[in-house]
Amino acid sequence: MDSIDLEVLKAADAWLDEGHACELVTVVQTWGSSPRPVGAMMVIRQDGRIIGSVSGGCIEDDLIARVRGAEVKRSAPELVTYGISAEEAYRFGLPCGGTIKLAIEPLAEKSKIKQLLAHVTRHELVMRQLDLHSGAVRLAPATTGATLDLTLGVLTTIHGPRWRLLIIGAGQLSQFLAQIATGLDYQVVVCDPREEYRLAWQVPDVEVIHAMPDDLVLEMKMDSRTAVVALTHDPKLDDLALMEALKSEAFYVGAIGSRINNARRRERLKEFDLSDTQLQRLHGPIGLYIGSKTPAEIAISILAELTAIRNGVALPDKMSVAAAKDEIEMPLWTVAEQEHVPQQVN
């Protein structure tokens, strides 16, 4: 599963190779509510076919109609604004009087789409600078904190995986997690020293590294745009890696397991040189409670929690797996106490 940005670049490259005229549309600024964030991209072909999205609605219909009516005739990039008036905002489906500014760029060899795609396919983070007057393009390495910028007629966009996810363990759940995370713009790294799991790996473009997880955590130099998820159920593989990750700047550190196993894991980690604050950063049982049972559902649960945290959304405690299950089982405990029947926690 490719990220949306990668799908757009692949389509643009293929259409140019086939001789089609096409334009790259990028969201460069928004005011008020907007259906798509700054940096969202779409490529539109001369016959009106599109890949990607900049609005999810009437703006795209308008862009398609313009292309079909006059074909692709721009010789230089152009900035276009939708939703200046309340009437226009309503017409184009922009909520709450929102306004959106787009950069529309006619693509050609000088656009360097093929070179950009090569960098992104290698999981490199790239800065693309577009001169809005001449259409000239410059590519250069980007830093993880870089963002879209429009200054003095130059549009700078960032391409490639802007987040990293280290998955410890190469089992079935890890494969679902890696597939979905790739589509969410993560550079996914899977670590498993167990040969039988590495040989069974089937997710293309996601490498499984033969290393001890704690060594790889240190080697990767975790920053605030990195998440670590331990999925092996094996303390010999998970615990030391979690210890190193909790000491790092990783924005998310989590481990799979039941409430009982999570409590035992925390007791083991207390024996390491971890502060209470560091230990409180551990998410476990991992994910949000959505009633998930299959590996695919559990992967969605985990990535829902990661997405909320990386977007700065404060989640209520009752959405955690542990709190939700405690609440579900509470009536059973109440009955048991009244009848003095001993219950087993599981």
Domains of the chain, by residue range, sit at 4-159, 163-320
Q: Which CATH architecture has domain 163-320?
A: 3-Layer(aba) Sandwich (3.40)
The pLDDT value given to residue 139: 97
pLDDT tens track for 8-54: 999 999 999 999 999 999 999 987 666 778 999 999 999 999 999 98
- Give the helix/strand (H/E) hosting 251: none
Helices H / strands E in the chain, number of each: 12, 15
Pairing assessment for the beta strands 282-283 and 252-255 based on DSSP bridges: parallel
Q: Are 98 and 67 in contact (CB under 8 A)?
A: no
Torsions phi, psi for 5 (to 5 deg): -60, -45
DSSP letter for each residue of 296-311 = HHHHHHHHHHHHHHHT
Cβ neighbors of 127 (< 8 A, separation 6 or more) are 139, 140, 141, 142, 146, 156, 157, 158, 159
Query: Which pLDDT score, from 0 to 100, does residue 340 have?
Result: 38
Please give the model's pTM, rounded to 2 decimal places.
0.71
pLDDT in 10s for each residue of the chain, 346 residues: 567 888 999 999 999 999 999 999 999 998 766 677 899 999 999 999 999 998 866 788 888 888 876 656 778 899 998 875 556 555 655 555 568 899 999 999 999 999 999 998 887 889 999 999 999 999 999 987 788 999 999 999 999 877 899 999 999 999 999 999 988 888 899 999 999 999 999 998 788 999 999 999 999 999 888 999 999 999 999 999 999 999 999 999 999 988 899 999 999 999 888 888 999 999 988 999 988 889 999 999 999 999 999 888 988 877 887 777 777 665 544 444 443 333 333 3
Residue 229 φ then ψ, to 5°? -130, 120
Alpha-carbon torsion angle 296, 297, 303, 309, nearest 10: -170
φ, ψ dihedrals at 345, nearest 5°: -80, 135
pLDDT value for 3: 73
Q: Residue 21 carries which side chain, given as an amino acid letter?
A: A
- Residue 279, SS3 per DSSP: helix
